[in-house]
Amino acid sequence: MKLIAFVPSLLTVWLVACAAPPPVDVGRNHNPEARIVLATYCCDSPTTQELVRPYLPEAQLWGDGRLLWTEHDANGERQVYIGQLSAEDMAGLLQEVVTAGFFGWDERYLGEPVVDAASRCLTVTLTDQTRTVCETHGGAPDAFYTLFDWLSQGAGAAGTPYLPQMAYVTGFRLEDTGVPLPEPDVAWPQALSHIPVGDAINGLWLEGEDLVPLWQAANQSPYQMPVVEDGNGRYRVILQVPGVSWIEPDTTALDTVGRFDCTAVSEIPASECQALVALYDSTGGPNWADNTGWLANDSPCTWLGIACADGHVTNMDLLYNNLTGTLPPELGNLEHLRVLGLWVNKLRGPIPAELGNLRDLTLLDLSSNQFSGSIPTELGDLTKLRTLSLVHNRLSGPLPSALGRLESLETLDLSHNEFSGSIPAEWGELANLGVLRLSHNQLSGTIPAALGDLNELNELDLSYNQLRGRVPEPFAPIARRCLWGNQLEGTVTSSGAGPITVDYENIHFVYDPSLAMSVWPEMILATPAVEGEPIWYAGPQHVRFTFAYPHLPPGRYPMGINLAAEAQLLIYPLAELAALDPSVQTQIEALQSLLADLRPGPEGDLPLLPTTNASQMFHAQVQYLVFGDIRGVRFVTQYAQEARPVNNQELFYTFQGFTGDGAYYVAAFFPVTASVLPNTPALTDDDAFNANFVAYLEEITATLDQLSSADFTPNLTLLDAVVTSLRMEPGTELSQEDTAVLNSETPPYHW
C-alpha cells in the first residue's frame, strides 16, 4: 500500500473526529539528522531505566525521508526495517497531519486507569511548531491510532532489514541469587576477547562485524538485552544506537575510576588530563585504530597524537584513527592547544562551543566526519587561527558572521556541507585569507563585493550552490576560482532535451544536456611565469568553459594541477602560450609535428597542455579530429606521479589541437569511466605491481583500444561532438561535411 492510497482514508477519519484546525505551516527541516516524526509505545518520556535504554521507537521519520520502524512477534522478537519516503509522500503525510488538527489535539488522553500501562506517543516537528500527543489505554481520536499504526508498519515504504553502523554497549552483571541464571544468547565477539565483558559494560563503542552478532541477539532477546558471559560471570548487554535509540548513549557517564587517575599526572594540569580522558571515553578509545599509550601510563605527553610544551598540551593529531561518538566539552580545558587535527574519523553531533576557549589554536581540522548542527559563533574568538577546515560533514544553518573576526585566518574550507543563507559580508575583513572554499552547500543570494577587498585571496571555490547575480569585478585576477554550478549571470543552463548552444567571446559550440547541468564561461587573466616556481602555475589570458556536473563520483581526481575534476574546454592564444617556457614550446612543436602527417599509431607520450606535475601513463582510443578550421588529436589517458593502477577516478578524455590560422591552441578535458577498470587505484601488492608495470600498461592500453566509444561513460562520441562543434566565429555556416573523424590507423590526411 502506498501513501497516496492511505492519505484520503486517513483524512476522512480525521475530519470526522476533529473540528477545523487553525492553519499551521507545514515547512520542515530537510536535514538528514532532523527527526520530523517520532512514534513511541513505552513511557511518556525517556528515562535511564535499564529496561528502557535499549528501546527503539516504533517509527522515526527524518528530514531526508528516511523511515525506521520496528515490528515485534508474539515471542517478543524484534525486526527493525529502514525505508525511504519520497518528498511528495512526506509532504502529503505532513499536510494531512496538519489538516486533521494534530496540533490542536490534547497532549494527554487517558482511557480506563491502568497501573503501569504503556503509553503511545506521537511527536511531529515542523519548522515553527512541535507537539507531542500521548494516550494511555484509549481515549485519543481515531485518527491518532490510524496514523500510529500506519507509521509502525512502514507507511507503505519498501523496507529492508536495518543494521546500524555503530552502537554503544553498556549493561549490568547478573547476580547469583539462587535462581538459575539465564543461558548466554550469544558469544562475546572474538575480536574483543582482550576486553572483559565486565569492563565493556561500562561503555564501549562497537561497529562492523563486532556489532553484528550482538545486534542479532538483541533483536531476538526479550527486552532486547541479550545475555553474554566471560570467565568472570554473565551479563545483560544493552545496545544504544546513536541518533536512532530513544535514549542517546550517555558517554559522559563512563566509569573511569580505577582505570585512570589524573591526580597521578604531574607533567600537565589535571584539567588537561581530564580533557584527554573525556575524549578517549566519548569517542570509543578502546576501538581506535591506534590508542598507543592512552590511559596506559601517567605521561599523557607520550600518548599517541599528543605533544606538549612548557607543561601543557599543545598538539592533538588523531587523524584516520576511527574515533566515533561525540567531542566532549572538556576539550575547552586545553587552553594552550595550538593544533587540533581530527580529520577522517566518525565523529558526530555538534561542534562544542567550548572550542572557542582555545585561544592559542592555529589549526582546527575536523573534516571528513559526521558533525551536524551549526558552527558555534564562539569559534570567532580564535584570533590566532590560520586554518579552519570543516569540509565533508553534515553542518547546516547560516554561515556565522563571527568568523570575520579571525584576523589571522589564511585557509577557510567549509565545502561539502548543508549550509544555507548568504555569504557574510563581514568576511571581507579577513585580510590574510588566501583560500576560501564553500562549494557543495545551499548558499544563496549574491557574492558579497566585500570579498573583493581580500588582497591575499588566490583561491576561491563557490561552486555548486544557489548563488545569483553578477560576479564582482575584483574577482577577475583570481586564477584559481571555481564559480560554476550556480545561477550566476552568464551561466548557460542545460534546459530541454536537445543540444545546448554556448556562445561566448566569439566562441561557439554545442553539447548534449546529459553532459552537464550547466556550463560556466569565463575569461581567465594571465598568470605570469615566476622564476623559481613551477611553470604549471603560469598561463596567458584565455577563455575557459567548465561543464558543471554535481554528480561526479566521490574522490574524482582533477585532471591536472590547474584543472578541475569537471570537464573543461580551454582556448589559448598560441603565441602567448608558446612564450611561457621552452617546455611549453616543446609540447606545441611536438603536436604540430604529429598533426603535420597524422601518423598512425603514434608512440611515446602524446603532447598535452596545460602542463602538469605528473607524467602520462599511457594513451588509448587515439583519433585525429579535423573540423572546420581546427585540427587536433583526441585520446584517453591518465596522469600520475608514480606507478599506479589505471582507474575510473583518474581516467580522462582530452583533445589537443590548433586553429588553422595558428592563432589559438584548443584543449578539452572530460572525465570518463570504463566498466573494465576498477573504480579506485587500490593496490594489494606494490612490489609485484611495480615489477610488472610496463607489461601491465601495455595490456590495459590494448584492452581500452578494443572498446567501442559506447563502452565509455560518457560515450566518447558525445565528447567528440562537443569538440567538433567548436567554431571561433559564431554565425559562420559550416556543413556536416566540414567535420572529419580519423582513426590513428587510417592513412595520413592532408590539408
Contact 169, 225 (CB under 8 A): no
The more confident residue out of 591 and 190 is: 591
Which of 237, 256, 239, 255 is closest to 173 using CA atoms?
237
Q: Is residue 258 part of a domain?
A: no
Give helix 87-99 / helix 3-17 axis angle, nearest 10°.
Answer: 10
pLDDT, position 127: 83
- Average pLDDT of span 110-139: 82
End-to-end CA distance of the chain: 67
Residue 709 included in any domain: yes
Shared-domain flag, residues 658 and 676? yes
pLDDT score, position 713: 94
Return the number of other C-beta atoms located less than 10 Å from residue 619's C-beta.
23
All three cell numbers of 738: 566540414
Same-domain pairing of 438 and 560: no
CATH code: domain of residue 134: 3.30.1560
For 44, the grid coordinates are: 511518556
Residue 385 has pLDDT above 80, yes or no: yes
CA–CA separation, 236 vs 276, rounded Å?
A: 30
**Residue 613 in this model has a pLDDT that exceeds 50:** yes
What is the three-class DSSP state of 147? helix
Q: Strand 500-504 and strand 78-84: pairing? A: unpaired
Instruction: Return the minimum-mean-pLDDT range out of 4-8, 201-205, 229-233, 452-456.
Output: 4-8
3-state SS, 624-670, equals EEEECCEEEEEEEEEEECCCCCCCCCCCEEEEEEEECCCCEEEEEEE
661 shares a domain with 703: yes
Cell triple for residue 588? 606545441
Name beta bridge partners: 742: 624
Tally the C-alpha atoms within 13 A of residue 158's C-alpha that lie toward its C-beta.
1
Domain assignment present for 583: yes
Query: In the chain, how many domains are there?
Result: 4
DSSP one-letter string for 383-421:
TT--EEE--SSEEEEEPPGGGGG-TT--EEE--SSEEEE
Kindly state the average pLDDT of the residues 517-541. Answer: 89
List, in sequence order, every beta strand (DSSP E) within 52-117.
Answer: 59-62, 66-72, 78-84, 108-110
Tell me, what's the pLDDT at 493?
93
Asked if residue 28 has pLDDT above 90, the reply is no
CA dist., res. 746 & res. 585, Å (int):
28
Residue 615: CB atoms within 10 Å: 11
CB 409 within 8 A of CB 432: yes
Find the mean pLDDT for residues 118-140. 88
Compute the mean pLDDT over every residue in the chain, rounded to the nearest whole number: 86
Q: Please compute the mean of the pLDDT values over residues 579-608 and round it to a whole number.
A: 92
Domain boundary among 454, 471, 496: 496
**Residues 652, 559: contact at Cβ < 8 Å?**
yes
Chain segment 186-222, per-residue pLDDT in tens = 888 877 777 788 878 888 878 777 888 999 988 987 6
Three-state DSSP state, 135: strand
Residue 386 has pLDDT above 50, yes or no: yes
Number of Cβ atoms within 10 Å of the Cβ of 679: 11
| Amino acid identity for residue 328 in this structure | P
Do residues 80 and 229 both lie within one domain? Answer: no
Q: Domain check: are 150 and 206 in the same one? A: no
Cα–Cα distance list, 487 to 313, 473, 508, 511, 543 (Å): 47, 17, 21, 19, 20
pLDDT digits (tens, 9 = 90+) for 465-485: 999 999 988 877 787 899 999
Instruction: Based on the fold, state whether residues 231 and 136 are members of the same structural domain.
Output: no
Kindly state whether residue 255 falls inside one of the protein's structural domains. no
Q: Identify whether residues 37 and 152 lie together within a single domain.
A: yes
In a domain, 257, yes or no: no
Whats the size of the chain, residue-wise?
A: 751
Residue that is last in its domain, among 214, 249, 284: 249
* Overall pTM surpassing 0.75 (yes/no): no
Q: Mean pLDDT across the stretch 345-367?
A: 96
What is the Cα–Cα distance from 472 to 449, expressed in whole angstroms?
A: 6
pLDDT at 72: 84
Range(s) of the domain holding residue 338: 266-496
Q: What gap in Å lies between CA 727 and CA 510, rounded to an integer?
A: 10
The answer to whether residues 240 and 277 belong to one domain is no
* 667 and 737 fall within a common domain: yes
Q: What is the pLDDT of residue 116?
A: 58
Give the least confident one: 96-110, 332-346, 418-432: 96-110
Q: Do the strands 411-413 and 387-389 form a parallel or antiparallel pair, or are they unpaired?
A: parallel
149 domain-assigned? yes
* 713 strand-pairing partners: 673
Q: Which residue has the higher pLDDT, 518 or 90?
A: 518
Position 743, amino acid: N
Query: DSSP labels for 184-252?
Result: PSSPPPGGGTTS-HHHHTT-EEEEGGGTHHHHHHHHHSGGG--EEEETTEEEEEEEE-TTTSSS---GG
Q: What is the pLDDT of residues 679-705, one digit of tens each?
A: 888 776 788 888 899 999 999 999 999
Confidence of residue 47 (pLDDT cuts 50, 70, 90): low
At 384, the amino acid letter reads K
Secondary structure (3-state) at 264: helix
pLDDT at 251 over 70: no
Identify the CATH number of the domain in which residue 373 sits. 3.80.10.10
Q: Please, what's the b/e burial string for 512-546 (b: 16 or more CB within 10 A of its CB; e: otherwise)?
A: beebbbbbbbbebeebebeeeeebbbbbbebbbbb
pLDDT for 190? 78
Distance from C-alpha of 245 to C-alpha of 12, rounded to nearest angstrom: 33
Secondary structure class of 508 (helix, strand, coil): strand
Distance, CA of 398 to CA of 420 (rounded, Å) = 5
In a domain, 13, yes or no: yes
Share of the chain above pLDDT 90, in %: 56
Looking at the DSSP bridge assignments, the partners of residue 340 are: 316, 364
- Pseudo-torsion of CA 214, 215, 221, 222, nearest 10°? 130
Burial degree of 414 (CB within 10 A; 0-12, 13-18, 19+): buried
Report the share of the chain in percent with pLDDT over 70: 90
Return the C-alpha torsion angle 475, 477, 480, 485, nearest 10.
40
Is the dihedral angle over the CA atoms 529, 530, 535, 536 positive or is it negative? negative
Q: Tell me what pLDDT residue 10 has.
A: 42
Residue 498 or 618, more confident:
618
Within 10 Å of residue 399's Cβ, how many Cβ atoms?
A: 24
C-alpha cell at 733: 555556416
Which long-range contacts does 84-92 make (Cβ < 8 Å, 24+ apart)? 84/157, 84/158, 85/3, 85/61, 85/155, 85/157, 89/2, 89/3, 89/4, 89/65, 89/155, 89/156, 90/36, 90/61, 90/65, 91/26, 92/3, 92/4, 92/7
Reported as a single tens digit per residue, the pLDDT across 53-77 is 888 999 999 988 899 999 988 777 8
What are the grid coordinates assigned to 548, written together? 558543471
Assess whether 569 and 609 both reside in one domain: yes
Flag whether pLDDT at 731 surpasses 50.
Answer: no
CA dist list (Å): 736 to 126, 366, 624: 57, 54, 17
pLDDT per position as a tens digit, 498-516: 899 999 999 999 999 999 9
Report the distance separating Cα 585 and Cα 369, nearest Å.
45
Of the pLDDT bands very low, low, confident and very high (cuts 50, 70, 90), residue 22 is very low
Residue 617 lies in a domain: yes
Least confident of 257-261, 436-440, 471-475, 661-665: 257-261
Q: Which residues contact 124 (CB under 8 A, 6 or more apart)?
A: 36, 37, 94, 97, 102, 103, 130, 131
Is a pLDDT exceeding 80 seen at residue 309?
Answer: yes
Task: State the pLDDT at residue 50.
Answer: 67
Residues 501 and 491 in one domain: no
Cell 519520497, located at residue: 86
**pLDDT score recorded for residue 114:** 59
- Four-CA torsion 386, 389, 395, 397, nearest 10 degrees: 40
Give the neighbor-by-neighbor strand order of the sheet with 664-671.
Answer: 492-493, 518-524, 542-548, 567-573, 664-671, 652-659, 630-640, 615-627, 739-743
Domain end point (choices 496, 521, 544): 496
pLDDT tens string 417-463: 999 999 999 999 999 999 999 999 999 999 999 998 899 999 999 99
Distances from the Cα of 341 to the Cα of 305, 362, 367, 403, 408, angstroms: 9, 11, 9, 19, 18
**Residue 408 pLDDT exceeds 90:** yes
Same domain, 510 and 490: no
Question: What's the CA gap between 74 and 87, in Å, rounded?
Answer: 34
Give the Å distances, CA to CA, from 262 to 295, 334, 502, 646: 10, 14, 67, 52
